[in-house]
Amino acid sequence: MRISTAQFFESTSTTYQNNFSSVIKTQQQIDSGVRIQTAADDPVGAARLLQLQQQKDMLGQYSANMDSIKSSLSNQESVLDSINNSLQKAGELALRAGGLTNDADRLAVANELGSIEDQVFSLLNSKDSAGNYMFSGSKTDTQPYIRNNDGTYTYQGDDTQLNLKVSDTLTLAGSDTAKSFMENSVNTGRTQSTLQPMLDPDGAVVPDKGVVAVSSGLVTSSAVFNKSFAAGQPYTLEFTSSTQYTLKDADGKDVTSEIPGNGVFDSTKEGAHSISLRGVSFDINLNLKDIAPTDQDAAVKGHTFTLQAKPDTFNASRTPSNSSTAQITGSNVTNAGTYSDSFPSNGAVIKFTSATEYEVYAQPLTDSSKSIAKGTLADGSLDAMGVKFDFTGTPASGDQFVVSNNNHQSQSALDTISELRKALVVPSEKDAAASRMQRDAINTAIGNLKNASASIDTARGSIGARLNAVDIQFDENTSMGLANDSTTAAIGNTDTASAATQLAFQKSMLEASQLAFVKISQLSLFNQL
């Protein structure tokens, strides 16, 4: 086969260019330290490097997330520690108030409790460095707590924790909601005792002389209360003498035998005048100092009390944009079954479509919400979801009223402190009834503040566990990062020794091709003559 001069030059030039390109490429690999300059250099290795880079980027994001979580949790833990210290101080004041005998001293304690109340309120509404509320859940731009006109407090956040991924398989919460550690504290004061009117032989009501009193009760076991007490209420406690009583449930069944002491008590001994009934403890208080011993049984006999859980209460507020001045002034359950089945757990919105027609929606109200009840306002009242609401004034079309319920199963520490403060400012030195109410408020506050502190301790323990998890995951991510760098270097970096040997070989090939081209290009038929 004959090869033309043009073919020879083209073939030789291509070989020379390839050798020259190989030398340049190897030199670049040595100079940069990077073996894979383009995907064509090593398609499999390039794909693996892309995966490793993506993993490295994710590890960087996980590291940023862990820094954010640690900062957020550390700030929250500090605030919770301050709140807990305040609650413990409030608990100490409650214990002190129980031993005070004059109104002036109780007022001083109430004033100190007011300062603690303001402090806790402020701490719960703390913001982080970015200006977001710490304890509102996902509603970071909404103030967690507001103070209502009646002195109670309302939580406005939600129960959604903000989560961040710290690894491919682990997600941690970087926040805690006030609802989880404040609103869910068990309320020990969710029961009440009510003295039934005593009648004389002619059927006339006998004035109460304060001879017998029964405390409102303290829940000692929520599980037993929910399982047994609620099912048998209301209970009827009837005193048969100054040392004996009988107790019956709502069906009239005698349950006296369930009580330690079997209906016999000694009011002169501490702890011997307590009724422990299905998870609730009621204290018996007798005032017999002005009654002769022989007349004490007759003075006590016949006093009857009803023991039961406190009925649900409602907090209603008008929307500021309402055009009328109508207000909800009262509310009470009229049908327990309907109320239990239909009242929304997050509260309801009553919206008037005219001066008398209304519709009820579950909270939160949105453009797509559908009414769950409707009706007509009559005689200043409406009955919806088993609850009767009383109004003053005439509502206007478009007016809205937000209603939330309180079943007293739990109570925030803010409301506990507020209730205790308000109870202590009431003069009671010469008022036995007020004194009993104060004693009940003090006992309830002591138990509730203890439960609130326990809830905060649980939240702090959870924060500590998550901080430890962050530290452990940080070490693991660091190890993964080092392995990533090592693998990336093994695949993508240049082996200098091998590349140098290859470069020397390629240079030799280039020089040889140059010499061969020069010599062969000078040959012609004239050289053979």
Cα 150 to Cα 342, 386, 415, distances in angstroms: 27, 24, 11
Separation between Cα atoms, residue 183 and residue 501, nearest integer Å? 74
pLDDT grade for 198, boundaries at 50, 70 and 90 = confident
d(Cα 22, Cα 16) in Å, to the nearest integer? 10
pLDDT digits (tens, 9 = 90+) for 348-379: 999 999 999 999 999 888 888 999 999 999 99
Average pLDDT, the chain: 84
- Rounded Cα gap, residues 507 and 136, in angstroms: 70
Residue 312: HSE in the Cβ half-sphere, 13 Å Cα cutoff: 21
**C-alpha distance from residue 477 to each of 222, 250, 469, 480 (Å):** 44, 62, 12, 5
The predicted model scores a pTM of 0.76
What pLDDT is recorded for position 479?
A: 80
CA distance 264 to 257: 10
Per residue in 145-173, pLDDT (tens digit) is: 988 877 888 888 888 888 888 888 888 88
Question: Whole-angstrom Cα distance, residue 463 to residue 53?
Answer: 32
Mean pLDDT confidence for 114-126: 95
pLDDT tens track for 71-83: 889 999 999 999 9
SS3 content of the chain, % helix, strand, coil (to 5): 45, 20, 35
What is the average pLDDT across 310-325? 89
pLDDT of residue 431: 83
What is the DSSP code (8-state) at residue 320? T
Cβ(274)–Cβ(282) under 8 Å? yes
pLDDT, tens digit, 9 for 90 and up, residues 39-52? 555 566 556 656 76
What is the per-residue pLDDT for 361?
Answer: 94
pLDDT in tens, 249-259: 999 999 999 99
Q: List the single range of 9-23, 171-185, 448-462 with lowest mean pLDDT.
A: 9-23
Q: What is the pLDDT of residue 521?
A: 60
381, 390 contact by CB (below 8 A): yes
pLDDT in tens, 419-442: 999 999 999 888 888 888 999 999
Q: Check: CB of residue 328 under 8 Å from CB of residue 409.
A: no
